[in-house]
Amino acid sequence: MSASISQRSLQRLPALDAVRVIGALAVIGHHVGFATGVNTGEGPWAGWFARLDVGVAIFFVLSGFLLYRPYAHAQATAGARPGARRYLWRRAMRILPAYWVTVVVCLLAMPRDDDASRADWIRHFTLTQIYQPNQLRDGLSQTWSLATEVAFYALLPVVALILTRGRRRAGRPLVILAGAVAITGAWVTLMGLGVLSLGLHTMWLPAYALWFGAGIALSTIHVSLRNDYAPRWRFMDDLGRAPLACWVAALAVLAIATTPIAGPRDLAEPTATEFGLKLLLYTVFAVLLMLPIAFGPQTRSKAVFSSSTARWLGTVSYGLFLWHPFALEWIHVLGDIPDFTGDTLNIYVLTVAGGLVLAALCYYVVERPFQRLSQRWPRPPRPRTTESQSPVTAATAAS
């Protein structure tokens, strides 16, 4: 196995940083639409704002793709898998410090959190707020998806161990996708039968196995193509050459999701069927969005997504996700804007601007120092060869 092939499947994809920004901006739009009453109204944009929670699907599919790539690469090249201990440490240092700072500030400074109990602090610090009903505090409601994603992080080494057994291939994408469909399908079926709650268990990891599984399947295809395996998947690179077609199709899928077929637009519980259809439509949207960025040759669209501005926005996008509800709440408080009112566009712009200021501060003061610490300790194991180990280490660091 030559060094060029070994490293090709782990070459960093900087354009994907901008996908995080798209997800964050979509989630902000969903929350602003709800806060200003647009989501539940009858206007022409109500359905679109209500379905901007598709940003969560973007996050989950992207996480499955990026975090599984080193494992798929290790199997495809007969290299060493990433060490679970180091992987979990890196994930913890990437996620927890900034999150804990957000929890402290919100529980102390948000007007509606002045009655937060010791149990609220414990639940949010341990990311267990989704395992009991109605435990999400003000300014932290978006963290349900982070709690679900952290559960995926914790299980990924076990999932990877199962998926990378057998022949030297990156994996079997259709088998992986079928398994994800089976898990999510079974979970939704149990909701439909009344065994599980549509108000609580729609936040738990099995409900979103399809989204993470789609990302993992895309990852195995990407690694296989870059290592000259699985030529039957070459059409994915062909689709990557047609960004306009993919993105128009993605918008068409999202347009379908804006209809009642994907459930109510407010906080009312969907039926199990509506929830399942929403999951499916959002999966297709996220995959179509990512295809031209992850697959195919370098294009003008990839160059835009790889620009220094886009990459910086991607760098602070985690903080933007964490802090935008804080900014949104204080815009309403300081502007004396009643709930479910206000100029949606102005509030959206102010929320993004305020969120970016807080996100940048969070990144440079909290996130970056802890990321540097995670790179220094624990030290990675000494590579057996420069071909097999160093690319895995580099890709894990970039995820």
185-212 pLDDT tens trace: 999 999 999 999 999 999 999 999 999 9
d(C-alpha 399, C-alpha 386), whole Å: 20
Question: Does the pLDDT value for residue 2 go beyond 50?
Answer: no
* Measured CA angle at 45 (ends 19, 247), to 5 deg: 35
This prediction has a pTM of 0.92
- 344-362 vs 16-35: helix axis angle to the nearest 10? 130
Instruction: Tokens for 88, please give them.
Output: 């979990």
| HEC sequence for 270-284 | CCHHHHHHHHHHHHH
Q: Is the pLDDT of residue 77 over 90?
A: no
Three-class secondary structure of residue 340 per DSSP: coil
How does pLDDT run across 276-331, given as a tens digit for each residue?
A: 999 999 999 999 999 999 998 888 888 888 899 999 999 999 999 999 999 999 99
Burial class (CB in 10 A: 0-12, 13-18, 19+), 197: middle
Range with lowest mean pLDDT among 107-116, 259-268, 274-283, 362-371? 259-268
pLDDT at 276: 98
- Nearest-angstrom CA–CA distance, 222 and 369: 32
CB 191 within 8 A of CB 197: yes
Q: What is the DSSP letter of 231?
A: G
Output the pLDDT for position 90.
94
Are 281 and 320 contacting, i.e. CB atoms less than 8 angstroms apart?
no
Look at the chain and report how many structural domains it folds into. Answer: 1
Q: Does position 398 have pLDDT exceeding 70, yes or no?
A: no
Mean pLDDT of 338-366: 97
Q: Say yes or no to pLDDT of 389 above 50.
A: no
Distance CA 176, CA 209 (A): 10
Query: Where in the sequence is the domain holding 31, given as residue range(s)?
Result: 3-398
Q: What is the amino acid identity at position 93?
A: M
Closest to 268 (Cα-Cα) out of 211, 198, 210? 198
Asked if residue 79 has pLDDT above 70, the reply is yes
194 Cβ neighbours under 8 A, 6+ residues apart: none
Backbone dihedral region of 172: left (phi > 0), alpha (psi from -120 to 50 degrees) or beta? beta
**What is the rounded CA–CA span in Å between residue 33 and residue 267?**
13
* Burial classification of residue 2, based on how many CB atoms lie within 10 Å of its CB (0-12 exposed, 13-18 middle, 19 or more buried): exposed
At residue 215's C-alpha, the angle toward residues 214 and 217, to 5°, is: 65
